[in-house]
Amino acid sequence: MNEVVITDKEVSEFFLAADRGTHLAFLQELEFALQRYSANPSIIPPRIKAHTPSGSTVHLYMPVIDDVYSGVKTLGYNVNSNMGFVGSINVTDADSGALFGTLEAKQVTGIRTALASCIGLYHQLTKFENTPRINCTVFGAGLQAFWHIFIVIQLFKGHCDAFKVNILYRENPMDLEPLLKAVYSQEDAGEVVMEQFPLSDRANVQNCVSNSHVIFGCIPSETPNLLFKDLAVPGTEVEHTYISLIGSYQPYMHECDAETIGRFQGRGTPIIVDSKEHTPLESGELCDSGVYREQLVEIGELAGTTVPTLKCPNSRRSITLCKIVGLAIMDISLSKKLLEISTSL
């Protein structure tokens, strides 16, 4: 038997050991895949969502049929299993349909989302050229937060002298030891400082948000945690903030408040999304505010353009907002590249 199956552990170990150049290569692969999607959304057919006859488990099958990327991501969720979503990614040869390889889905999902979050930021790195210390705030302390922190630190390597991370957690703080170990095991690891605060600590939440250059939302939440009033605090010395929200993926979920979305709508400033088709239907923030396709720009459309920014009132700060709900082509493209590397070793 010679099937290629890459485990979650192997995926994690590969990306934790990879250098900045490797991370950028995967980021660019992901952007290319999203460009193909933006040019032809039909390469992602409708997904299948159904329960087992017993009703205990919901299964999702998410196909991709393209001349470059082909395969299917599957996920299953049983509320009583205490395992969260469990699944796999099957990559096939686009020409023959033959199986190229299989990966466990958990780590790939976290990594591809973090990389997608950083595509718009990658296009804006020049905005932080004269910023010696980058302040980054992350809502969440789980796997998604872990990979967002690790990858954004890699992204800014060589672009700042120090990196400060504020982790805002709902119930339990993040175990920082594995993250710091991974960060400092990298060559050319710069100065990295991390602090954690509970979301209930409003004073520190506001202080973190008002002084951050990068903000990631990684908490599935029905009540917004990111408020525009915290972004628009007068007197902030931060000139630009890049925000990517990935935690909410259902119409009843909200990561930022309606005022934040309304400000972008009122100024005619596009919000970055992974899909103009899926994001307005699955993101509660966009659903409730009645955001139209014309008020959005896809990640796959960013290359060669100026990434949209919103000027905050009463301050020098500008903001870029990205909202991601996830597309199977992200999983397939990253998995294909990883399989190509693994088979060449």
Distance CA 99, CA 175 (A): 37
Write down the pLDDT at residue 187. Answer: 78
Beta-bridge partner residues of 58: 51, 77
Write down the pLDDT at residue 188. Answer: 80
pTM of the model: 0.96
Write down the pLDDT at residue 249. Answer: 82
Distance CA 297, CA 273 (A): 6
Write down the pLDDT at residue 136. Answer: 99
Write down the pLDDT at residue 343. Answer: 78
Write down the pLDDT at residue 11. Answer: 98
Write down the pLDDT at residue 315. Answer: 87
Q: List Cβ neighbours of 260 (8 Å cut-off, separation of 6 or more).
A: 226, 227, 228, 231, 285, 321
Distance CA 339, CA 40 (A): 25
Write down the pLDDT at residue 64. Answer: 99
Write down the pLDDT at residue 1. Answer: 43
| 155 phi/psi in degrees, rounded to 5 | -60, -40
What is the tens place of the pLDDT at every residue in 315-345?
A: 889 999 999 999 999 999 999 999 999 877 6
Which segments of the chain belong to CATH 3.40.50.720? 114-323
State which residues of the chain have pLDDT below 50.
1
What is the tens place of the pLDDT at every residue in 34-66?
A: 999 999 999 999 999 999 999 999 999 999 999
Which segments of the chain belong to CATH 3.30.1780.10? 5-108+328-344
CATH homologous superfamily for the domain 114-323: NAD(P)-binding Rossmann-like Domain (3.40.50.720)
Write down the pLDDT at residue 342. Answer: 87
CATH number of 5-108+328-344: 3.30.1780.10
